[in-house]
Structure 1
Amino acid sequence: MTIAYRRAVPEDTPACVVLRGRTRENAFSVERLAEAGVTLESWQAGIADGSLPGHVATEADEIIGYCFGERETGEIAVLALLPDHENKGVGRTLLNLVVADFRELGFARLFLSCSPDPAVRSYGFYRHLGWTSTGTFDHRDDEILEYRLA
């Protein structure tokens, strides 16, 4: 099957919410997303008004992964991928698409939070792609990484 990439649209949100609960690590249920202040409606509104730009990867018209960022801050808010599609470059491609969007918006630095545990996949994934630790942590004890744009 061929994987296609495109900009996210508000109608993608229900599938994105479901996918977020099916990831291998750091899965979030609808309830956990709501506790974090993310609802179907808020996510759709963010895509619609451009405050949460993102891209989705599809295979046979099914969303298999996505990446979104916060336009106001330059934070990569989420990168999620179905387990069957890991280690195929899909996550890297999605992240690179959002990074390119933020470069066009004029950002010089992006940031994200991820597990500080080297056993967790995101730890090595982001570092391999050039993200570096800021030495700081968020309220969930996730490590803040940054990426400097040329």
Structure 2
Amino acid sequence: MNVVYRNAVPEDTPACFDLRGMTRENAFSPEQLGAIGVTPESWEADIRTGLLFGFVGLFDQKVIGYCFGVRDTGEVGVLALLPEYEGLGIGKALLGLVVDEFRRTGVTRLFLGCSTDPRVRSHGFYRHLGWIPTGAFDALNDEVLEYLLR
């Protein structure tokens, strides 16, 4: 499978919004995202201003996954992948691109919110890659994991 990775651009926002609702776990519809203050307009504006940066994975020119970080805070805000592309290393590659970008900008501590339920794929995924629980919880009641860059 030939997946193309590239920097996300504001015009990717509609595809990213649609994809987020189609993920196997932790799916958010556009309405649910709007309820927490994330709209296509706000996401696109944050990409345009550089507050959000990210990468998309494309197969046959279709967005099949993405990962975004919040430049000023070190937060990995979202990693989403269509279910039929799970287990192929695409999510790991997208996360790696975001981690590398944070490293280039000098951020030394990354963090993200993750389910506390070990049956949820993300629980084991991040821990396997070296993300460590902090004992703190975010506003969505997800456990905050951190990753220290050296």
TM-score for the superposition, normalised by structure 2: 0.98
Residue equivalent to 2:117: 117
Structure 2: distance between partners of 1:15 and 1:34: 16
Q: How many residues align?
A: 150
Amino acid at match of 1:20: R
Q: Which runs of 5+ in 2 are unaligned?
A: none
- Give matches, 1:25-44, under 5 Å: 25-44=25-44
How high is the TM-score relative to the length of structure 1?
0.98
User: Would you identify which runs of 4 or more consecutive aligned residues in structure 1 move more than 3 Å?
Assistant: none
For residues 57 and 22 of structure 2, the distance between their equivalents in structure 1, rounded to whole angstroms, comes to 15
Partner of 2:107: 107
Deviations 1:82-136 (A, max 9, x none): 0000000000000000000001110111000010010100000000000000011
Gap runs ≥5 in structure 1: none
> Partner of 1:59 in structure 2?
59
Root-mean-square deviation over aligned CA pairs: 0.6
Residue matched to 1:139: 139
Residue 71 of structure 2 corresponds to 71
Question: What secondary structure is seen at the aligned counterpart in 2 of 1:28?
Answer: coil
